[in-house]
């Protein structure tokens, strides 16, 4: 439904590629103005071609996030009233091999970054007396474990995003701010590792995904745009799997 986000101001973290860039494209197509946040300046330059304004930002740094949200408000002529928290990293390591430094690195981007961006955007909206919508990109890894690709730090970070989303929803509902999460399954992006071995990947899709295929970043973006729109006006604190049915079996 083109135009349902007309007049909205959107900020997408991790917006230079993968799911973040797909979300930015979808929000733009539905009428929103969009600013992309990413720490990769070179990737941002390429991604800006979709029509969004780029802002370089290390999502782990509170000062950098606050400054980026302020700069985005200037570019958008007002505070962002849609936030898509898509910045994330994926690492694989068995628990016994996992170092505290590796744990901290993943949690800093995936969970701390989501907290910092959400807090900054919500504070600006509350100060302006405006409603808004936050969509946090979690993962099915926050819902179920994975013995094939052990990644406790990633799983814990994404489960934390779900708990954080529910708390955002509860605390900020009185201000008209909704918060929901999307839980992608195996999505065809550069972050995907399960298809590094095509035969093993195909076997997993046959046995573990009822739809028997990878999802696309555009399919995740479609759900994200719905959650950001007024079509989801009575939906907050929810976690929506976009996984081809993987968590249903």
CATH number at residue 83: 3.40.50.720
Report the pLDDT averaged over residues 27-43: 94
Rounded to the nearest 5 percent, the helix, strand and coil shares of the chain are 50, 15, 30
Quick check: is 4 in a domain?
no
Q: How far is CA 116 from CA 36, 207, 217, in A?
A: 16, 38, 24
Is 2 domain-assigned? no
Cβ atoms 113, 13 nearer than 8 A: yes
**What strand order describes the sheet that includes 33-38?**
53-56, 33-38, 9-13, 82-85, 132-137, 177-184, 239-242
pTM score, whole prediction: 0.95
Residue 2: the pLDDT is 59
Total tally of structural domains belonging to the chain = 1
- Is 78 part of a structural domain of the chain? yes
pLDDT at 130: 98
Looking at 154, 175, 204, 234, which residue is catalytic? 154
Summarised one tens digit per residue, pLDDT across range 136-148 is 999 999 999 988 8
Residue 3 lies in a domain: no
pLDDT by residue (tens digit) across 208-220? 999 999 999 999 9
Closest CA to 142 of 204, 105, 208, 88: 88
Q: Could you list the residue range(s) of the whole structural domain that residue 71 is in? A: 9-241
234 catalytically annotated: no
**For the chain, what is the total number of helices (H) and then of strands (E)?**
8, 7
């Amino acid at each position: 439904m083109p135009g349902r986000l007309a007049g909205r101001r959107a900020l997408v973290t991790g917006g230079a590629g993968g799911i973040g860039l797909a979300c930015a494209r979808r929000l733009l197509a539905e009428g929103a103005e969009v600013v992309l946040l990413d720490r990769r300046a070179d990737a941002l330059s390429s991604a800006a071609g979709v029509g969004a304004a780029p802002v370089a930002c290390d999502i782990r740094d509170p000062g950098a996030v606050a400054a980026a949200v302020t700069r985005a408000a200037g570019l958008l002529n007002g505070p962002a009233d849609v936030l898509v928290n898509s910045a994330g990293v994926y690492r694989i390591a068995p628990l016994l091999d996992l170092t505290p430094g590796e744990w901290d690195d993943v949690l800093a981007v995936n969970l701390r970054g989501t907290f910092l961006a959400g807090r900054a955007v919500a504070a600006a909206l509350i100060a302006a007396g405006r409603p808004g919508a936050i969509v946090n990109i979690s993962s099915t890894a926050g819902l179920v474990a994975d013995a094939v690709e052990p990644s406790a730090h990633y799983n814990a970070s994404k489960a934390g995003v779900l708990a954080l989303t529910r708390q955002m929803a509860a605390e900020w509902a009185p201000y008209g701010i909704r918060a929901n999460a999307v839980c992608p399954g195996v999505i065809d992006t550069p972050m995907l590792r399960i298809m590094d071995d095509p035969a093993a990947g195909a076997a997993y899709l046959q046995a573990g995904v009822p739809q028997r295929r990878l999802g696309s970043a555009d399919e995740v973006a479609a759900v994200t745009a719905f959650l950001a729109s007024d079509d989801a006006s009575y939906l907050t604190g929810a976690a929506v799997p976009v996984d081809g049915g993987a968590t249903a079996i």
